[in-house]
Amino acid sequence: MSDTVEFATVSPPDEPSRHAAAARHSQLTKPQGSLGRLERLGAWLAACQGQCPPEPLRRARIVVFAGDHGVAANGVSAYPSEVTGQMVTNFRSGGAAINVLAACAGAGVRVVDVAVDAETGDSEFKVRRSSGSIDREDALTEEQTQAALAAGKAIADDEVDAGADLLVAGDMGIGNTTPAAVLVAALTGAEPVAVVGRGTGIDDVTWMRKTAAIRDALRRAKPVTADPVALLRTVAGADLTAMAGFLAQAAVRRTPVVLDGVVSGAAALVAEELAPGARAWWVAGHRSTEPSHHLVLEQLDLEPLLDLGLRLGEGTGAAAAIPLLTMSVRVLAEMATFTDAGISGPATD
């Protein structure tokens, strides 16, 4: 039996640096407040780094957590489970959307096989193959739950120790919007029909099967909703559990995170339970078209940066938002002040 994974207390980002950034914004050559959300984003990054102006982002890292889900055998996805392993190969050869978007954003991509059915040649953090079919059995054993949490925590530590200054948790797993929806319903009190979404693009018959699976899994989740580790064991899966551990530990290590879509969002809801206060270290990269993602953002009180109709996962919605973070930092660091440029400030009476 492995030891129980624990997370240290999360300390909040540095408020004096956030205030210094707000003050600096009022001195830069633009009408007060005119860069809107970019100003608040820059101030958040200053607070995360504990300095104003913040340093440019040098090492943004996207970790794609890959895993298969037993519930996929119920016919809840538009694609077969073998796509998960095939996409791992595609990520490695640079052909997936996340490879392209990460390159545009100047971010690195790391793919971790946590529970892929196929042999991917990457067993360092592999906990098992497909998780149990959550509509009728637990996703994981207690030991596997702890191993997955430990994996996510170790990966966050590894990335931060290697100098990551921004992290993203991406996901790849056929069927994973089903456990994600169950986690969201369990933690927000929503009904199954309010969380079921079209995932990879399912038809109406598949939607009915998926709704039934979510309803059955939610019934199994209800008795353990107040215990985040038991909830992960019952209805998540090794990939989602590792993601939750990763997101919690990133906050413990004072490293900002850009959240992606509904899968990272569901893991984030649990991570906030594992490490209260972690959400202060997160920004929502985008709003996915999955209905339960709205509930995640509401519950975490996060306003998404982008709303592009994305529903891909992999970390793509977060990667698309990284250039906005880069801009927000560079504005604080590089714009001239009214004094520097000899420009008159606001009119006074």
Ligand X SMILES: Cc1cc2nc[nH]c2cc1C
Is the CB of 89 or the CB of 211 nearer to ligand X?
Answer: 89
312 binds ligand X (CB under 6 A): yes
What is the closest distance, in whole angstroms, from the C-beta atom of residue 153 to ligand NCN in the complex?
22
User: Residue 37's closest CA among 333, 321, 320, 347?
Assistant: 321
The stretch near ligand NCN (CB under 6 A) out of 14-22, 240-248, 255-263, 270-278 is: 255-263
The answer to whether 237 contacts ligand NCN (rule: CB under 6 A) is no
**Which DSSP state fits 306?**
B
CA atoms within 13 A on the CB side of 78: 10
- The single residue among 70, 152, 175, 256 that binds ligand NCN, judged by CB under 6 A, is 175
Tokens for 142, please give them: 């207690």
CB of 124 to ligand X, least distance (A): 22
Our finding on whether 85 is near ligand NCN (CB under 6 A) is no
Site string for ligand X, 148-177 (x = CB under 6 A): ------------------------x-----
77 lines the binding site for ligand NCN (CB under 6 A): yes
Catalytic residue among 119, 124, 314, 334: 314
Nearer to ligand NCN, 256 or 313 (CB): 313
Cβ nearer to ligand NCN, comparing 233 with 294 = 294
Name the residue nearer to ligand X (CB basis): 138 or 171: 171
78 and 200 Cβ atoms separated by less than 8 Å: yes
Structure tokens at 187: 């933690």
Specify whether the CB–CB gap between 65 and 243 falls below 8 A.
yes
Applying CB under 6 A, among 68, 117, 135, 314 the residue interacting with ligand X is 314
Size of the site for ligand X (CB under 6 A): 8
Which amino acid does the sequence have at 163?
G
Considering only 17, 130, 145, 176, the residue that binds ligand NCN (CB under 6 A) is 176
Sole binder of ligand X in the list 51, 141, 188, 200 (CB under 6 A):
200
The distance from CA 339 to its chain's CA centroid, rounded to whole angstroms, is 41
How many Cα atoms occupy the beta-carbon half-sphere of 319 within 13 Å?
27
For ligand NCN, which residue of 262, 271, 296, 324 counts as binding (CB under 6 A)? 262
Q: Does 42 bind ligand NCN (CB under 6 A)?
A: no
| Residue 84: CB minimum distance to ligand NCN, A | 7
User: Cα separation of 299 and 302, whole Å?
Assistant: 8
- Judged by beta carbon distances under 5 to 8 A according to partner kind, the member of ligand NCN, ligand X, none in contact with residue 199 is ligand NCN
Enumerate residues 6+ apart whose C-beta is below 8 A from 123.
Answer: 113
Active site residue 142: no
Is 313 a binding residue for ligand X by CB under 6 A? The answer is yes
Q: DSSP characters for 90-131?
A: HHHTT-SHHHHHHHHHTEEEEEEEEE-SS--S--TT---SSB
Q: Which does 338 bind (CB under 5 to 8 A by kind): ligand NCN, ligand X, none?
A: none
Which of 149, 168 has the CB closer to ligand NCN?
168
Decide whether 49 or 91 has the Cβ nearer to ligand NCN. 91
Distance CA 241, CA 19 (A): 35
The Cα 65–Cα 238 span in angstroms is: 9
Answer yes or no: are the C-beta atoms of 263 and 175 closer than 8 Å.
no
Say how far apart CA 21 and CA 6 lie, in whole Å. 34
The residues, ordered by sequence, that sit 6+ positions from 63 with a Cβ below 8 Å of its Cβ are 110, 111, 112, 155, 159, 167, 168, 169, 170, 246, 315
User: Token match 């001195």: residue?
Assistant: 27
CA proximity to 147, closest of 116, 125, 170, 129: 125
Q: Does 192 bind ligand NCN (CB under 6 A)?
A: no
Residues that bind ligand NCN (CB under 6 A): 77-78, 171-178, 199-200, 202, 260-263, 288, 290, 293, 311-314
As annotated, the active-site residues are 314
- Which stretches of the chain bind ligand X, using CB under 6 A? 79, 83, 87, 172, 200, 312-314
